[in-house]
Amino acid sequence: MKAYSVYNHMLLPGSFRGLENDYWHLRSSVQIWDVSCQRQIEISGVEADQLAQLLTVRDIRNVAVGRCVYAPVVDFDGGLINDPVVIHAGPDRWWFSLADSDLGLWAEGLARGYGMEVRVAELDVWPLAIQGPKSEDVMSLVFGEAVRSIRFFQFERLEFEGRSMIVARSGWSAQGGFEVYVDDADVGVALYDALMEAGGAFDIGPGGPNLIERIEAGLLSYGGDMTRDNNPLECGLDQYCSLSSDMEAIGLSALRAHSERPLARRIRGLTIEGPPLEPLVARWPLRGDQGPIGAVTSAAWSPRLKKNIALAMVDTGAPDLVEVETPSGSRSAEVGAPRFP
Amino acid sequence: MKAYSVYNHMLLPGSFRGLENDYWHLRSSVQIWDVSCQRQIEISGVEADQLAQLLTVRDIRNVAVGRCVYAPVVDFDGGLINDPVVIHAGPDRWWFSLADSDLGLWAEGLARGYGMEVRVAELDVWPLAIQGPKSEDVMSLVFGEAVRSIRFFQFERLEFEGRSMIVARSGWSAQGGFEVYVDDADVGVALYDALMEAGGAFDIGPGGPNLIERIEAGLLSYGGDMTRDNNPLECGLDQYCSLSSDMEAIGLSALRAHSERPLARRIRGLTIEGPPLEPLVARWPLRGDQGPIGAVTSAAWSPRLKKNIALAMVDTGAPDLVEVETPSGSRSAEVGAPRFP
């Protein structure tokens, strides 16, 4: 491992061959990611459905057991607290697969304050992601052909060494793949080894979420591209906000109010001119003719597009050509959609 | 900077001269620590006193404005959620200076659920710590002689460049010092420079919380030595838990119940034989004659004591001599008090 980050108080392995080599490898073969840091907050009990719905502005009342949905969690003002994948794990049982914030404290504080009959717990579950175009071939060798019929954002309980685990078709890349919700550390190690062995013919290797790949795909990172200072509409997550539904959800009325006014800013994509830039450590300011108009939140050199690509929070009404103030100087950039196919 | 860690979603500068050189420097002169990651959660409003008290099992009803107290925050079962310093910043105004967890989500979830008339906010405040035996001399050159009369865990509002800031005698070392609650980024940079200049004659330099120094002092790290799986009694924090008080506080009744049974385990100090050990990445298991009896949570070589010293969560009734299973082999260790004077 060459680089890691800290995520939900745990280590997240980030790079193994260097950023660009990891990128090409992820696009062409298959990687195993230790994403144990995607902590699972389980909400269970007779009022679990009510609390789960209260926590997200996406209408999840018709999400069947066995399905997963990307579901923004916001505060009472509509500010993003987390953007988990929510898994309907069983009757009266929901798992929130977390981005980087202690959502369990929010959920339990609310549940206790409202006096709801639920249990909120962080599970001993350590997700393992198998990502890349060859992931289905490798997974079928380990879990059987049943994996091929799992549809996107659905899960089956499949067995490995006699242990039944949730296997979902999901993951934080656009290359396709699965996430296995490992709930036994010993089985996890054996599974890792089995996947490595089965994947030998497919050039399998370790990996992690890849900055270049996820910017190209427009996958936003909570804590980086979007924070509690942003509402999901600014982040282009409109389709995951059920503004016209009649369920009870925290922040829904605030979001409705936001939606009735013009947005002040919105996540956009930038193509920044010139040779590869240095890694972005802190946000780079953006300037238009009239002054500050936002900031770059993520940036990388795409070796495929041979361009600096970036995500940025940009004021509405900003021009199509802006200036980026990087630590190494000013660069022109073109504003467009927040994805780079 | 040679090493940093991630704390409350921010970077915490850790080492500048290497661990041992930083240790000697901290003990002999004075350091400036950028501890911006000690986030401040402010609770304000007409029910602020009630919510602040509800959040901690320490009786803070008689804590006057201008005072700070170390105050454990636990869940309804008594499990530690955070161990902040709580600052009575003004009438109906409390600041919780955080260890590494999103306590604001807990506080706001509870406040909203209970329908309390309070405002919970993470402040734009970035604490700067000045630590070490020469810290008073340096601080008095920048803030005036008034700093000398600030007593331990009390604060005054003092001016720098016309801006009034909270200056407390506190900090996460046993060497003495101050924390300045900087609430303006530009003033912060100017203050950093002014302290560096004033400290020139005292060999001032940058620094950060030091692993060796804080183990010697028995300062426990939340997330490392103690987690939500521990109650404060196990962590030797009895004196900060007001078990016989009549205030209303979350987890107080659970802690009372814990206190009526013998503790299952307790934080202890270990002296581990042999030459310097490798850095502890994951907890090292402890074994007695009868099997597993706990785990080492922090360890370092003390260049002053010329010993491996450690903190460990040890089962009650463990023998005084135990075996530590390090990645490089087994070592004998002596169990004693969790501090190394």
List pLDDT tens digits, range A254-281: 999 999 999 999 999 999 999 999 999 9
Our measurement of the distance from residue B135's CA atom to the centroid of its chain's CA atoms, rounded to an integer in Å, reads: 19
DSSP single-letter state for residue B340? -
Q: What is the pLDDT of residues A24-41, one digit of tens each?
A: 999 999 999 999 999 999
All residues of chain A having their beta carbon less than 8 Å from the beta carbon of residue B115 are 113
pLDDT at B216: 98
Task: List, in order, residues 6 or more apart from A62 with CB less than 8 Å away.
Answer: none
pLDDT at B19: 96
All residues of chain B having their beta carbon less than 8 Å from the beta carbon of residue A113 are 109-115
Q: What is the pLDDT of residues B277-318, one digit of tens each?
A: 999 999 999 999 889 999 999 999 999 999 999 999 999 999
Question: Which of A5, A106, A122, A123 to probe the B interface (max B CBs under 10 A)?
Answer: A106
Average pLDDT estimate for A187-214: 97
pLDDT at B269: 98
Cα angle A186, A191, A196; round to 5: 135
H helices of A236-324, in order, are 252-259
The nearest alpha carbon in chain B to A100 belongs to B9
Average pLDDT estimate for B97-111: 98
Q: Is A280 on the interface with B (CB under 8 A)?
A: no
pLDDT at A290: 86
pLDDT at B290: 86
A75 and B108 within 8 Å at the Cβ level: the answer is yes
Q: Is B109 on the interface with A (CB under 8 A)?
A: yes
pLDDT at position B144 over 90: yes
Question: Which of A4, A80, A105 to probe the B interface (max B CBs under 10 A)?
Answer: A105
Integer Cα distance of B143 and B147 in angstroms = 7
pLDDT at A103: 98
B112 and A107 within 8 Å at the Cβ level: the answer is no
pLDDT at position B66 over 90: yes
Q: What is the pLDDT of residues A9-24, one digit of tens each?
A: 999 998 999 999 999 9
Contact, A88 vs A150, CB < 8 A?
A: no
**How far off is chain A from B202, nearest CA to CA, in Å?**
32
Return mean pLDDT, chain A.
97
Q: Is B106 on the interface with A (CB under 8 A)?
A: yes
B113 and A112 within 8 Å at the Cβ level: the answer is yes
pLDDT at B92: 98
Q: Is A248 on the interface with B (CB under 8 A)?
A: no
Q: Is B5 on the interface with A (CB under 8 A)?
A: yes
Contact, B73 vs B56, CB < 8 A?
A: yes
Average pLDDT estimate for B183-191: 95
